[in-house]
Chain A
Amino acid sequence: MSSIETAPPVIDAEEARRERSRKLERTGRWLLPLIIMAAAICFWDRVCVWNEIPQYILPRPGVVLNTLIEDAGLLFASLLVTLRITMLSLALAVVGGVGLSVLFTQSRWIEMSLFPFAIVLQVTPIVAIFPLINIYVDDQTTKLLLCAWIVAFFPILSNTTLGLNSVDRNLIDYFKLNGASRWQTLWHLRLPAAMPYFLGGLKIAGGLALIGAVVAEFVAGTAGQSSGLASRIIEAGYRLNAPRLFAALILISLTGIVIFLALSWISHLVLHRWHESALKQEQ
């Protein structure tokens, strides 16, 4: 049998193998985490049954799901409170982070003088700063916002500053040659060039804003003034209501995932036509 007679298959064995493994990888990417997750939940359930663990210590997954449905009104109302703080603080982090980084790129001197302060704010644990905020700020919402903002704004500031400074030197020369004003260079060149960096920072900041909001509630919400998800967790902890505690926890973590996916999607929408990071790898 000559090789010419068997020619019709257009791709050779190696390519076919590669194509097969590519398909497998595509399904695996979704299927594998789902399977592992399902297995973990099964295992959790079995552990509860095998060891006869009481519900107030570790509830079975089914019980948690039930609670999630039964307490939906209460929990989702709390979720909305937490979400509001998260979104507001993220919005403020974008304004503050981008605003400061634009200010930094206007003058090296400003950057050199102010950047250390931003780092100090970032590296000091928020839980340690909060008692001070508690003393100086009266309004509950402002307290929580400030707290979440401090945690969320740094990745945006640091990434956007890097982006604004990473513009192709030749393009900056080109703008200079064409008599572009500082404002034109910022608007038409630096800001679009910083976009991928900014969006990378935004993805991190989205998760951090949620963490900041929850932590702030934890530290502040002991008096029951706030009714966010963190307060529900504390409350459920006091009452040994483990199923509700788990339900609230799951809600928080789902929220985090949704925020991350949403920001990734935005990033893809903005960058998919031109930036390397958003391109599919070509064979």
Chain B
Amino acid sequence: MPDRTNPFLILQSIGKTFASGVTALERVNLTVNEGDFMSLLGPSGCGKSTALRIIAGLSSPTSGVVDWRGPTLQQNDIGFVFQEPTLLPWASVYDNVWLPLRLRGVSRKDAEPQIAEVLERVHLTGFETAVPRELSGGMKMRVSIARGLVTRPRMLLMDEPFAALDEITRFKLNNDLLELWQERRFTVLFVTHSVFESVFLSNRITVMAAHPGRVFEELTINAPYPRDAAFRTSAHYAELCRNTSDTLSRAMGMEAADVVH
């Protein structure tokens, strides 16, 4: 396991106000350590996705600093997985996974070992020539994850990647993702609004509150990895879920109280 005490990314007092006057984020402080699996958990409108976009560099903060620690961050170092699979509909599975490498000038042939390996890891060997519409929702998501991992990023940003999937597929992908994470030791920042999902996956959860989006509380999930089906049905898991759920309720209750004032 990587040393999860080394800060990898520090958000210092990040604020984001849109031109419309809506404040999406207010004074968000967050430290992600190297090798963390951190979830951003909160109700819709709490700025989870905005925070992720700012970290990815797709959007700039109105105030505050995004501070990357450790060796200088390269373009390769961040992988991004969207809520939708966001694949090229005209390209095969192989070409979709090749895309990030292709944009970096790696030829189709040179990319082959990496693509084959990552496709094998997400159980899609044999589907190289299929186009996205021939795949199920879960398989499309696997392609999207494979595409996110093929550059071997040091950090994977995931924006509610499994929200649109059925529960059986989601459980399966949760397991696969954890396996990949343990094997490859990248850092994950995972946006979700599912308490159960965040507890199952993360070693840390940042609960956010809405209007304006801010950090409400940070939780540590003290349960050893690997986590499997047995963990999902354990009393310990249920207990952790209850605690997290309580925190989330308080985060949302406070928001309700704010509205009243």
Binding site for B on A (CB under 8 A): 168, 170-171, 173-180, 184, 188-189, 192-193, 195, 273-275, 279
Contact = CB atoms under 8 A, between A and B. Distances in A.
Given A176-B58, A184-B103, A188-B102, A170 B78 contact: no
B88 interface: yes
Contacts of A168: 86
Contact of B84 (A170, A177, A275): A170
Contacts of B136: none
B89 A174 contact: no
B80 to A, nearest CB: 5
Interface string B68-82: 000000010010101
B100 A178 contact: yes
Contact of A192 (B75, B80, B88): B88
B99 interface: yes
A171 B90 CA distance: 13
A274 B132 contact: yes
Contacts of B102: 188
Contacts of A180: 103
Contacts of B78: 177
A259 to B, nearest CB: 25
Given A177-B78, A274-B131, A274-B133, A188 B90 contact: no
A170 to B, nearest CB: 4
30 contacts: A170-B82, A170-B84, A170-B86, A171-B86, A171-B88, A173-B82, A174-B80, A174-B82, A174-B86, A175-B103, A177-B57, A177-B58, A178-B99, A178-B103, A179-B75, A179-B104, A180-B103, A184-B103, A188-B99, A188-B102, A188-B103, A192-B90, A193-B90, A195-B90, A273-B131, A274-B89, A274-B131, A274-B132, A274-B133, A275-B90
Contacts of A188: 88, 99, 102-103
B135 to A, nearest CB: 12
B180 interface: no
Contacts of A279: 133
Nearest to A196: B90
B160 to A, nearest CB: 12
Contacts of B75: 178-179
Given A173-B82, A177-B56, A275-B90, 20 more contacts: A170-B82, A170-B84, A173-B80, A175-B103, A177-B58, A177-B78, A177-B80, A178-B75, A178-B103, A179-B103, A179-B104, A180-B103, A184-B103, A188-B99, A188-B102, A188-B103, A189-B88, A192-B88, A274-B90, A274-B133
A100 to B, nearest CB: 23
A173 B88 CA distance: 13
A196 to B, nearest CB: 9
10 closest A-B pairs by CB: A170-B86, A178-B103, A274-B90, A179-B75, A274-B89, A180-B103, A170-B82, A274-B131, A178-B100, A192-B90
A192 B95 CA distance: 13
Contacts of B90: 192-193, 195, 273-275
A178 B104 contact: yes
B120 to A, nearest CB: 23
A226 B107 CA distance: 52
A46 B57 CA distance: 76
Contacts of B80: 173-174, 177
Contacts of B88: 171, 188-189, 192
